Amino acid sequence: MAALAYNLGKREINHYFSVRSAKVLALVAVLLLAAGHLASRRYRGNDSCEYLLSSGRFLGEKVWQPHSCMMHKYKISEAKSCLIDKHIAFIGDSRIRQLFYSFVKIINPQFKEEGNKHENIPFEDKIASVKVDFLWHPEVNGSMKQCIKVWTEDSVAKPHVIVAGAATWSIKIHNGSSEALSQYKMNITSLAPLLEKLAKTSDVYWVLQDPVYEELLSENRKMITNEKINAYNEAAVSILNSSTRNSKSNIKMFSVSKLIAQETIMESLDGLHLPESSRETSAMILMNVYCNKIVKPVDGSCCQPQPPLTLIQKLAACFFTFSIFGYLIFYIIHRNAHRKNKPCTDLEGGEEKKNTVNISMSPLEILLQSFCKLGLIMAYFYMCDRANLFMKENKFYTHSSFFIPIIYILVLGVFYNENTKETKVLNREQTDEWKGWMQLVILIYHISGASTFLPVYMHIRVLVAAYLFQTGYGHFSYFWIKGDFGIHRVCQVLFRLNFLVVVLCIVMDQPYQFYYFVPLVTVWFMIIYVTLALWPQIIQKKANGNCLWHFGLLLKLAFLLFCICFLAYSQGAFEKIFSLWPLSKCFELKGNVYEWWFRWRLDRYVVFHGMLFAFIYLALQKRQILSEGKGEPLFSNKVSNFLLFISVVSFLTYSIWASSCKNKAECNELHPSVSVVQILAFILIRNIPGYARSVYSSFFAWFGRISLELFICQYHIWLAADTRGILVLIPGNPMLNIIVSTFIFVCVAHEISQITNDLAQIIIPKDNASLLKRLACITAFFCGLLILSSVQDKSRH
């Protein structure tokens, strides 16, 4: 009864909610969200610097998240590079002095807080030619005014950045009197024009006063209350924002430190001065405000302008625009022809006349339709991760953010289970299921930022290795059984693997190696193909006639293993090979191929393991040693139980080792040799029991069939800032945002999978003569792309 109810319920859901209707709903959601964000930008302004300076929240104890954008954590080298030949001045009281120290420590962490606190403090890095000064002016008075006035003179060198602020000393010295507030207003009114004049050539920030923790204040500071501080802040904001009559003030209000202090002032030692972590956050915000537009860090979207379109991107936009208009013209013509030839009722005979016109779509129309859809999808990609339309946030890892979603998807995966069509080891449904749950776990790993937790990182490395294991297993099995080494098969595989990535490289202006997994599986496919296709071609049909051919194949695999070991331990030789033009255009990242060498070396043996496993399994299957009937254990009961026990122990042993890892570099060094242990253990656990081999999760298998598209699409339309952050479609509600963005992301990935399949049938025909012509066109396209890319690179430099 339960099974019947489940099937009826699933049939009812599929009747009312299909994949097609889901995609329509996703399209409507994208249009509404884009319109909403566009209206919000127009109404609230499009300057993410204002959000960085005025709003945000803590994701954890020390992780500050600005509203709508991502904040970069600057390294020493980046800070010096940005501030070279720059002069920064901090003017104010002890709180500004704290901010000065934290700012300087970004440049030089060894700088010590020492010396007379109530005097000027200089700092200079002569190598980087960076100068940062603190000028002691605890009150907004004539002394501060005179200091700032000197900089307004034309003959005097002006600081590039001025950070000023004061109020607590005025409250303290004058015992919080109303006369002191009135005097403060007068002084800041006379100071405002000078600051405004400086703001035309320098970046000027007025730091609003942070709240205090009144219970911790000493007796001589009891008059400094939050009520008084708010009054002084209101006065400063009112006067400085109205310092220009006809336009917006150029003086920037640094009010975000107030929000930071509200969360952390309880940790203060004296109730007045902020804890060090809060000061560091404020200093890093200052660094982001000034440096992001200079350094342009990928994970620092605050204060960065939208990147200009490259020549290749402009050409791609034109191509997709023509495709959209071309398809619309075809659609209108096709629809009109269909209407003219629509079956009509014979009034005399009462019968329908048959439609004599074939209304099936031509290859050209399918091509235009596919590129039309792809153009709209690429527009969404660009809006998400290049245009400053949707918001982005930093990742923040917690154990619950990773493990709770894992539990959810496991429950769903178990709920949607069906019988397999065949019960062979690693049958199609099972491998789709395997790819599916691995891909979902990897997606959760990426969005939760779990790479910072080493045990999770090591287990995810096994999942990536398992994908490559399947690459070795699947392609070896195909070539071994089918013996099809034709060019059509090679082109089909290469097209399906690389089509989306090539389009994204063009549209998102990224190098091919950025999408590292696709180059990895592409190169390994070619290695498998070359290994098996080169003379002598040894396939199962030939080997069945003479056992010596099995020995010949093992020699081929042994030579492959030798080549892998040589390249893995000869970094120089590896880099020389892949630094040759035009290979370097595919495998370089940031000007070198080290990243490619690291990625390839990390899983260097697992594809070989997959090929070897396929060879052994198919040999055992051919000799009928395995029992692959429905419900039957793979081996005899004793052997099956023994192997299951060994597999479970091996699986758990690897997990214990991975969970005890303390050093990522050391564990990465061991990973290539030991990852196969857990992969083989999983395969045996999943396939030895007959009942386990006879069922699969249709939920996981569905995702497995679009796993490649999911892995690639996540870079830009689920994550953000090229995977460094999280895309925010619905701000203020993280759970709803994840649900909506995930729904759109999955629909897009599924549609791209269908588009790729449709285009593969047209662009890669089975006829060799036609295929060679298409290959000539594709070669010409890539040659043109290389030339344009070289022109772009020269113009950038």
Selecting among 40, 94, 177, 655, the annotated active-site residue is 94
Q: Are strands 203-207 and 161-165 parallel, antiparallel or unpaired?
A: parallel
Angle at CA 111, nearest 5°, toward 110 and 117?
150
| Alpha carbon distance 320, 368 (integer Å) | 9
Are 122 and 133 in contact by the 8 Å Cβ rule? The answer is yes
**Helix, strand or coil, per DSSP, at residue 281:** helix
273 is catalytic: yes
Two tokens at 732?
Answer: 């203020």
Are 627 and 633 in contact by the 8 Å Cβ rule? The answer is yes
Burial-class residue 157 by CB neighbours within 10 Å (0-12, 13-18, 19+).
exposed
Q: In sequence order, which ranges of 17-64 are alpha helices (DSSP H)?
A: 19-44, 48-54
CA distances from 568 to 267, 563, 598, 652 (A): 51, 8, 9, 28
Are 697 and 437 in contact by the 8 Å Cβ rule? The answer is yes
CA distances from 33 to 29, 38, 423, 521 (A): 6, 8, 46, 36
| Alpha carbon distance 26, 745 (integer Å) | 9
Element (H, E) at 161: strand 161-165
Number of Cβ within 10 Å of residue 794's Cβ equals 8
484 is catalytic: no
- In sequence order, what are the residues at sequence separation of 6 or more whose Cβ sits closer than 8 angstroms to the Cβ of residue 460? 441, 442, 445, 450, 451
| Alpha carbon distance 410, 699 (integer Å) | 10
Angle at CA 688, nearest 5°, toward 685 and 694?
100
Two tokens at 125?
Answer: 């890095």
Q: Is the dihedral of CA 282, 284, 287, 288 positive or negative?
A: negative
CA distances from 189 to 161, 163, 183, 196, 244 (A): 21, 17, 10, 11, 12
Number of Cβ within 10 Å of residue 218's Cβ equals 10
Element (H, E) at 465: helix 454-482
Q: What string of H, E and C letters represents the secondary structure of 484-545?
A: CCCHHHHHHHHHHHHHHHHHHHHHCCCCHHHCCHHHHHHHHHHHHHHHHHCCCCCCHHHHHH
Number of Cβ within 10 Å of residue 229's Cβ equals 19
Q: In what order do the strands lie in the sheet with 121-125?
A: 121-125, 130-136, 87-92, 161-165, 203-207, 252-254
270 is catalytic: yes
The dihedrals phi and psi of 739, each to the nearest 5 degrees, come to: -60, -50
Selecting among 37, 67, 87, 273, the annotated active-site residue is 273
Selecting among 270, 484, 767, 793, the annotated active-site residue is 270
**Helix, strand or coil, per DSSP, at residue 108:** coil
Two tokens at 141?
Answer: 């008075």
Count each helix (H run) and each strand (E run) in the chain, helices first. 31, 13
Are 156 and 150 in contact by the 8 Å Cβ rule? The answer is yes
- Give the active site residues: 94, 270, 273
